């Protein structure tokens, strides 16, 4: 049976969001019920998501979401990869100011069935959980590409999705979701691919716009790190990553460390699980296996 999934994404900044969405659209076990976008230029991000959905031949509801964090200044005002949109058919207009309500309605329609996958800053989800406190308990699980839990934690390393809206991050990690799983930066940094290999392997029709978006990314980077696709892939092949249970808290008091994820492995009554190891070869085999 296909897994019912909602995706919250900041597609258009780091290229891995587009890499992830292409995977979800090609994954036969994924029933993608909707997409919400977050941070600056949310409509352009929705247009990018639309371009991939159109090419995949799938009518997926797409809603532009919150563009500014709850309490701190915006750190991600633009969707740089949207400059490549003109070459791909996409929807131009979307329902506005309805992203959180769409998530709420959809989760309530399918109680206990939906996996919420978040691969961007957590403003939309923080708002959702704050406005309807029952929603976390109605999810099957939440899977996040967020935080740092292993190497680098002691040095106070901050991860982008967690730090862009730290107060929303704190809301999400405090929420009583039945299954709360995070894939952090310390693990995702182990799955990378050089630009030239990306160009040679992204040959599937659905990966063509991703490669086009990636050329914008490659102007300032020489590789792709599969942060978000790794989080997504663990939903469909749990053996890709090894998870450990414990408790995550989010730093808010220190202005220089807001959004830092503090991990206590094996904490009594800890309701979080974080990835501690990844089988990188298994991940890459799994990722490319869906593009046939």
CATH number, domain at 244? 3.90.245.10
Number of domains, the chain = 1
Q: Is the Cα torsion angle 104, 109, 112, 114 positive or negative in sign?
A: negative
| Helix axes 208-217 and 16-26, enclosed angle (nearest 10) | 170
Parent domain of 12: 3-289
- Write phi, then psi, for 141 (nearest 5 degrees): -165, 160
Q: Which DSSP string do the residues of 73-103 spell out, in sequence order?
A: --S----GGGGGGGGS--------S-HHHHH
Q: Which DSSP state fits 67?
A: -
Residue 3: Cβ within 10 Å count: 17
Write out the two tokens for 79: 């969707």
Q: Residue 127 CB: number of other CB atoms within 10 A?
A: 21
**Cα separation of 78 and 128, whole Å?**
23
Cα gap 150→186, rounded to integer Å: 6
Give me the residue label for tokens 């310390």.
186
3-state SS class at 176: coil
- 3 state DSSP class of 157: coil
Q: What is the dihedral of CA 103, 180, 60, 206, to 10 degrees?
A: 150
Distance CA 252, CA 257 (A): 7
* CA nearest to 227, candidates 44, 48, 14: 14
Q: What is the residue-level pLDDT of the chain in tens, covering all 292 positions? A: 899 999 999 999 999 999 999 999 999 999 999 999 999 999 999 999 999 999 999 999 999 999 999 999 999 999 999 999 999 999 999 999 999 999 999 999 999 999 999 999 999 999 999 999 999 999 999 999 999 998 655 556 899 999 999 999 999 999 999 999 999 999 999 999 999 999 999 999 999 999 999 999 999 999 999 999 999 999 999 999 999 999 999 999 999 999 999 999 999 889 999 999 999 999 999 999 999 8
């Amino acid at each position: 049976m296909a897994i019912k999934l909602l995706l919250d994404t900041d597609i258009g900044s780091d290229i891995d969001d587009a890499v992830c969405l292409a995977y979800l659209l090609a994954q036969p076990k994924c029933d993608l019920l909707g997409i919400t976008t977050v941070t600056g230029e949310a409509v352009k991000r929705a247009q990018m998501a639309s371009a991939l959905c159109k090419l995949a031949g799938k009518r997926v509801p797409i809603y532009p979401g919150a563009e500014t964090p709850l309490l701190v200044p915006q750190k991600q005002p633009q969707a740089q990869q949207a400059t490549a949109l003109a070459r791909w058919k996409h929807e131009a207009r979307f329902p506005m100011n309805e992203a959180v309500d769409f998530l709420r309605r959809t989760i309530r329609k399918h109680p206990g069935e939906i996996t919420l996958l978040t691969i961007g800053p957590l403003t939309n989800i923080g708002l959702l959980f704050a406005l309807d406190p029952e929603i976390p308990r109605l999810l099957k699980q939440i899977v996040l590409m967020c935080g740092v839990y292993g190497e680098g934690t002691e040095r106070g390393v901050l991860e982008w999705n967690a730090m862009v809206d730290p107060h929303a991050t704190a809301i999400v990690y405090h929420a009583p979701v039945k299954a709360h799983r995070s894939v952090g930066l310390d693990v995702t940094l182990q799955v990378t691919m050089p630009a030239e290999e990306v160009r040679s392997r992204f040959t599937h029709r659905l990966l063509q716009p991703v490669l086009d978006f990636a050329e914008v990314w490659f102007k300032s980077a020489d590789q792709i790190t599969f942060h978000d696709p790794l989080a997504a892939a663990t939903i469909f092949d749990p053996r890709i990553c090894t998870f450990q249970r414990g408790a995550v808290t989010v730093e808010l008091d220190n202005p220089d460390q807001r959004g830092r994820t503090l991990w206590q492995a094996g904490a009594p009554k800890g309701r979080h699980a974080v990835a501690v190891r990844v089988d990188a070869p298994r991940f890459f085999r799994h990722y490319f296996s869906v593009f046939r």
